Amino acid sequence: MSLAVYKNRWRPTWLFGVMTLVFVLVASPIVGTLARPANAAIGQNPLDGVTQVSNRCAVASSKAYCWGYNYSGQLGNGTNINSGSPVAVDTSGVLAGKTVTQVMSNGVSACAVASSKAYCWGYNDNGILGNGTNVDSNVPVAV
């Protein structure tokens, strides 16, 4: 199943091929109303200027947003609470002052490119976050 944005709401649709402005949600039963981030201007769509979407994460206004399951911290917002709406990835640590240009997710962890460096968060089995540990992280860590 795929999802498309219509007037700030997610609506299911079946897609074959590539379409512009379509957000693909892979293997996640969580679907919800698009929430406006606290720092979004009134009247601004929080996903205006989306540059990269991959399996429940997106870049908007140079910030990363993720949604869906969060049992390993894969939303990157400092919690382990699931969200059916996009939540901002934590920027108080290693992403402070950085410009996010890409974000990718495999469903259990995610990585972003910010200011030409890699940062990851979520499930860390066998050190897949690339930070030298096997400990899950619910906030971004430098690779």
Residue 114's pLDDT band (cuts 50, 70, 90) = very high
55-72 pLDDT tens trace: 589 999 999 999 988 999
Interior angle at CA 104, CA 39 and CA 25, nearest 5 = 85
| Residue 100 confidence (pLDDT) | 96
**Which pTM was predicted?**
0.64
Contact criterion met (CB below 8 Å) for 113 and 99: no
Sequence spans of domains, the chain: 45-142
- Output the CA torsion 76→80→81→84 (10° steps): 40
Phi and psi at residue 126, in whole multiples of 5°?
55, 25
- Best mean pLDDT range from 15-24, 29-38, 52-61: 52-61
Is the model more confident about 101 or about 5? Answer: 101
Cα–Cα dist 32/25, whole Å? 12
Question: pLDDT > 70: what percent of the chain?
Answer: 62
Look at residue 107 in the predicted model and tell me its pLDDT. 84
